[in-house]
């Protein structure tokens, strides 16, 4: 019962923006989230990213937390949902790639060449218009195929910063592609 009271106090402090309470919660649950995530990803880097995402979400949603909340269950639920969403996103990306591949296979080579050249030109223009750092990250990671860790070392940035730049660049390119096809 004493731990339950302590967690309620942590939740109340967290709700009011107490960073020390957040740090206590992070220290207590970080490993649980990590080991739960590592079961789905064999990559320690991916598991660490899940840990960061889960605790960012906890911090961002802190004001809506209820005092009687079971932190253990809540953090487990955030982690489970986050992993589910990541898996769903991978499935959607795979299905999209398959659709594009099949569509391209059903058109003539001449049409493919024309469509590819036009699309590449437009995407290259979007990439060139990205902020310099984001463009470098995108080119090294997505075009040259380097890992986030390798890109981080080359540009002397953290892996998380690389992930943010990469994500924003991909979103910009996706939005540009949507505009092209609409």
| DSSP letter string, the chain | -HHHHHHHHHHHHHHTT-HHHHHHHHHHHHHHHHHHHHTT-S-HHHHHHHHHHHHHHHHHTGGG--TT--HHHHHHHHHHHHHHHHHHHHHHHHHHHHHHHHHHHTS-HHHHHHHHHHHHHHHHHHHHTS-HHHHHHHIIIIIS---HHHHHHHHT--HHHHHHHHHHHHHHHHHHHHHHH-
127 contacts 142 by C-beta, under 8 angstroms: no
pLDDT digits (tens, 9 = 90+) for 99-122: 777 766 665 566 667 777 888 888
**Structure confidence at residue 139 as a pLDDT band (50, 70, 90):** confident
Counting residues of the chain whose pLDDT is more than 90, the rounded percentage is 26
pLDDT given for residue 30 in this prediction: 94
pLDDT digits (tens, 9 = 90+) for 20-32: 999 999 999 999 9
Backbone angles phi, psi at 147, to 5 degrees: -75, 160
> What does the alpha-carbon distance between residue 130 and residue 146 come to, in Å, rounded to a whole number?
19
pLDDT given for residue 1 in this prediction: 37
> What does the alpha-carbon distance between residue 38 and residue 33 come to, in Å, rounded to a whole number?
9
CATH 1.10.10.10 residue window(s) in the chain = 108-181
How many C-beta atoms surround the C-beta of residue 10 within 10 A? Answer: 20
| Domain 2-87 = CATH 1.10.1740.10 | yes
CATH 1.10.1740.10 residue window(s) in the chain = 2-87
pLDDT given for residue 22 in this prediction: 93
pLDDT given for residue 109 in this prediction: 63
pLDDT given for residue 43 in this prediction: 78
Q: What CATH topology corresponds to 108-181?
A: Arc Repressor Mutant, subunit A (1.10.10)
pLDDT digits (tens, 9 = 90+) for 56-82: 999 999 988 887 878 889 999 999 988
pLDDT at 2 over 50: no
């Amino acid at each position: 019962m004493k731990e339950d009271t302590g967690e309620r106090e942590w939740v109340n402090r967290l709700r009011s923006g107490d960073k020390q309470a957040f740090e206590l919660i992070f220290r207590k649950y970080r490993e649980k989230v990590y080991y739960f995530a590592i079961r789905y990803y064999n990559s320690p880097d991916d598991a660490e990213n899940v840990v960061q995402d889960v605790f960012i979400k906890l911090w961002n949603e802190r004001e809506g937390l209820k005092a009687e909340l079971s932190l253990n269950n809540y953090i487990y639920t955030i982690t489970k949902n986050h992993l589910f969403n990541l898996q769903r996103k991978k499935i959607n990306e795979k299905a999209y790639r398959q659709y594009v591949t099949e569509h391209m296979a059903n058109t003539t080579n001449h049409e493919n060449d024309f469509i590819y050249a036009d699309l590449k030109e437009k995407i290259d223009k979007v990439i060139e218009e990205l902020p310099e750092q984001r463009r470098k990250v995108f080119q090294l990671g997505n075009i040259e195929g380097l890992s986030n860790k390798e890109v981080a070392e080359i540009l002397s940035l953290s892996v998380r910063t690389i992930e943010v730049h990469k994500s924003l660049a991909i979103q910009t390119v996706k939005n540009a592609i949507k505009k092209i096809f609409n």
